[in-house]
Amino acid sequence: MRKFIVLVVALIATSMAFAQDFDAKFEDATLRLDYTFMGNATEQHIAIAELSSSPNWYGRRINLDNVPLMGNGDLTLYDSVTNEVIYKTSFSSLFQEWITTPEALTVTKSFEFTLLVPMPKSNATAQLVLRDNTGKESSHTFSINPGDVLIRDNSKIEPLPYKYVHKGGDSKECIDVVILAEGYTAKEMKLFMKDAEITAKEILSYEPFKSHSDKFNFIAVMSPSADSNVSVPQEEAWRTTAVGSNFMTFYMARYLTSGKVYSMYDLATNIPCEHFVILANTDTYGGGGIYNSYTLTTAHHKDFRPVVVHEFGHSFAGLGDEYFYDNADDNDNMHSLKHEPWEPNITTMVDFDSKWADMIEEGIEIPTAVTPERTANYVVGAYEGGGYLSKGIFRPTDVCRMRNNTAERFCPVCERAIERVILHQAE
């Protein structure tokens, strides 16, 4: 009994330490950082566009100075006096994906990007770092003065109507996922709410989300569009919608994304928000998911349910695609075979020990041959083909939600990666 009491006291003390650490450095408020990323395949530039604030901080209050995975970029806040790391987050962006495309060899473009951080109590330094697929870095540093009169105050903005479609608990202990309506008119909000409920239910039906459903809140935000449906450039159909999404991203027919990142955050102003799922009111197949940025997927295609889970795997846990194309090997530049990708579920074998080597049972050969038994039982190995390439990149199992729409689950490696992110944010 004494040991039990000591353990409880220790746990309480640890919990208080986390809270005290956050309270010592931050206000219970949110600082929004709007960035512009600009460049091409050879050079990248970062600029700050605007700072704004709103009451309440809905993000994590634990593990403030570290991240569960690297991403294509990270933001670190330093105390300006002590140079102590007081907050860190990682991410990827549509810009960093675009610079790997053939277009980026001849064209320079700019992209919007937004990050939310807790409002520091005193002056802080924000350092944002972007990395390309070879590890080459670009960085931007600026000083944050919490009392700066040019930090726009958003506290009086009335939030859009919203409703919890799943509530695990208080925002201070839970992960808040905002579901935005894209291409739903004001008259179609009942349909959107139905689709939002399906979204939350479907994501939470997969492990490890299912076991940790009490750590999630899903909040449907009724963001109306002027037009129904979304833009389909290949059909010469351009529509006015809440976040201005369109197919044909990077000239890929089914790649549905939005460059209007500021608009997403505008729509979620003064609503608990850490992650975005954006539902597109269309039956055209497609979607996209970007780590710590957003999931965007079509809500009325027959494969909506598995696809929204797949895309959320990208945006929430940074999982890579495990499918591949035989004809992409000569021109796909998404991954460098000379470097280890940051995604936790694909590897070039450059640093396999940092991935899932510890999960492979004795007797499983590397590379691993596909057999019916191994496929059926999600046997972990290193199966060649993944990250769009049939050669040089390896995946953990033959089937997985990150490879097949018909897969019944995430593979064990993906499940572990997802759980690590969950526990990092809501321990």
Phi/psi region, residue 388 (left: phi>0; alpha: psi -120 to 50; beta: rest), is left
- d(Cα 279, Cα 189) in Å, to the nearest integer? 12
User: Looking at residues 295-321, what average pLDDT do you find?
Assistant: 98
Kindly tell me if the per-residue pLDDT of 327 is higher than 70: no
- d(Cα 382, Cα 349) in Å, to the nearest integer? 9
* pLDDT at position 328: 56
Query: Is-contact 257 94, C-beta < 8 A?
Result: yes
Kindly tell me if the per-residue pLDDT of 11 is higher than 60: no
Which pLDDT tens digit goes with each residue over 337-388? 999 999 999 999 999 999 999 999 999 999 999 999 999 999 999 999 999 9
* pLDDT at position 135: 84
CA–CA distances in Å: residue 185 to residues 49, 198, 227: 30, 19, 6
- d(Cα 4, Cα 361) in Å, to the nearest integer? 36
Kindly tell me if the per-residue pLDDT of 19 is higher than 50: no
User: What is the Cα Rg of the chain in Å?
Assistant: 21
- Residue 110 vs residue 12, higher pLDDT: 110
Kindly tell me if the per-residue pLDDT of 144 is higher than 60: yes
Query: Is-contact 49 34, C-beta < 8 A?
Result: yes
Which pLDDT tens digit goes with each residue over 37-74? 999 999 999 999 999 999 999 999 999 999 999 999 99
Backbone angles phi, psi at 314, to 5 degrees: -65, -55
User: What are the counts of helices (DSSP H) followed by strands (DSSP E) for the chain?
Assistant: 7, 17
- Residue 336 vs residue 320, higher pLDDT: 320
What SS3 class is residue 276? strand
* pLDDT at position 14: 43
Q: Quick one: pLDDT band at residue 332, thresholds 50, 70, 90?
A: low
Question: What's the angle, vertex CA 73, arms to CA 288 and CA 123, rounded to 5?
Answer: 125
pTM, two decimals, is 0.93
DSSP per-residue letters across 80-136: TTT--EEEEEEE--HHHHHTTSGGGGT--EEEEEEEEEEEESS-EEEEEEEE-TT--
**Bridge pairing between strands 44-55 and 26-39:** antiparallel
Would you give the DSSP letter of residue 347?
B
Residue 124 corresponds to which tokens in the numbers above?
Answer: 């802080």
Query: Is-contact 115 33, C-beta < 8 A?
Result: yes
Would you give the DSSP letter of residue 405?
T
Kindly tell me if the per-residue pLDDT of 191 is higher than 90: yes
In the chain, the domains with their CATH numbers are 23-153 (2.60.40.3250), 162-317 (3.40.390.10), 325-398 (no CATH)
- d(Cα 402, Cα 310) in Å, to the nearest integer? 6
Handedness of CA 94, 99, 105, 107 (dihedral sign): positive
DSSP per-residue letters across 216-257: EEEEEE----SSSS-BBGGGTB----SS--BS-GGG-TTB-B
Least confident residue range of 37-41, 70-74, 133-137, 278-282: 133-137
* pLDDT at position 274: 97
Backbone angles phi, psi at 14, to 5 degrees: -65, -45
